[in-house]
Amino acid sequence: MTTVNPDQNVNPGQLAESILNGGAATEADALTLLATPDEELFGLVHAGSRLRREHFGMTIKLNYLVNLKSGMCPESCTYCSQSLGSKAEILKYSWLSTDEAMEQASMGIGGGASRVCLVASGRGPSRRDVGRVGEIVERLKDENPEVEVCACLGILKEGQAEALKEAGADAYNHNINTAESFHDNIVKTHTYEDRTNTVEHAKAAGLSPCSGLIVGLGESDEQIVEALFALKALGSESIPINFLVPFDGTPLEGQWNLTPMQCMKIVATARFVCPDREIRLAGGREIHLKSLQPMALQLANSIFLGDYLTAEGQAAADDLAMIRDNGFTILGQEDEEARTEESVGCCGAEAGCCSDSKTTAEAATHTDPVIRRRGAGTAEVANA
């Protein structure tokens, strides 16, 4: 790993302006952004949000995971609850049937997802596995031609990416997970090159490359920057940022290395390094970003809806409320939401019937006030 010194003179606003005018962030710039003092975080987010809005407006892309095969993976990834030697008490099952997979995918699509991610544990798929997933892809595309399908099956062999593309898959996910200089600290059963080669195979077959990272593994700021620039060079069009979920029973249990503010700086830095790429808030966002999730949407333009592979996520209804309450629209539903606002007044009748400018969506999801019956003047314990 090449040593990079931070540029102490970086101004996020000026850097954003430079990027909007055709410039690019350097590794030194990125290292400085990661080291932004907490009291200057809002300025960093504001600058990064200009890049986000330039390329993605105020849309949020919803992605939905379908875990086709869970657990029992022979790889030694220390961060993973499905890996060899993990004692985490997760769901373990063999392949879902095509009908079962379709049922699960349909739920995500019904919730607004414009991309379905078909995932299976393991080092990589057999020829039979690719055929099995190909059948699911074909069904999904036949019934939902507007929905993107991304496969994530591990390390690919020759011809497998082409078979998935022929079945109708749009994208392939294989995360590099971390910097090359840190990779051997988290897994011994495959190499960093195995991962980058798979991304290249997917690209060569015409699949959109999706590759991201996991933060909180014990890597340094320099290694986060190294990974981000590697993803940029690799041409990853969608970059999921996962925040380590240190399951009990895994080698990394108890490793809580991240703070919400630090996570925000990582997401912001990713936006500066890859201004025109999809930045996705992925696993662990709820437990690490916490109350800063809405602010992170000013930088990221994509999230997973609902649950993850082995961990539960935030309630889908809460995700949708978070998107709506912060002024964003779901990708693919912009016209529908605009029509709703134009055609219906706040009372549910025709537009113009009342002076209140609130939309039906806002009015329908309001929270009724609750009369206080605790604390002062009562015998009930106060809310403190």
Please enumerate, by residue number, every residue annotated as part of a binding site for [4Fe-4S] cluster. 73, 77, 80
Residue with tokens 């997760």: 90
Contact in structure between 68 and 119 (CB atoms under 8 Å):
yes
Burial of 307 by CB count in 10 Å (0-12 exposed, 13-18 middle, 19+ buried)? middle
Torsion of CA 237, 241, 247, 251, to 10 degrees: 80
- Nearest 5 degrees, angle CA 276-CA 281-CA 287? 155
**Pairwise CA distance, residues 134 & 169, whole Å:** 8
Name the binding residues for [2Fe-2S] cluster.
117, 150, 210, 280
Q: Under DSSP, is residue 106 helix (H, G, I), strand (E, B) or coil? A: helix
CA–CA dist 265, 243 (Å, integer):
13
Helices 192-204 & 221-234 angle (0-180, nearest 10) = 30
CA distance 21 to 12: 14
**Alpha-carbon gap, residue 300 to 292, rounded angstroms:** 12
Contacts (Cβ under 8 Å, ≥6 apart) of 159: none
- Those residues with Cβ within 8 angstroms of residue 194's Cβ, 6 or more apart along the chain or in another chain: 155
Are residues 152 and 173 in contact, defined by beta-carbon separation less than 8 angstroms? yes
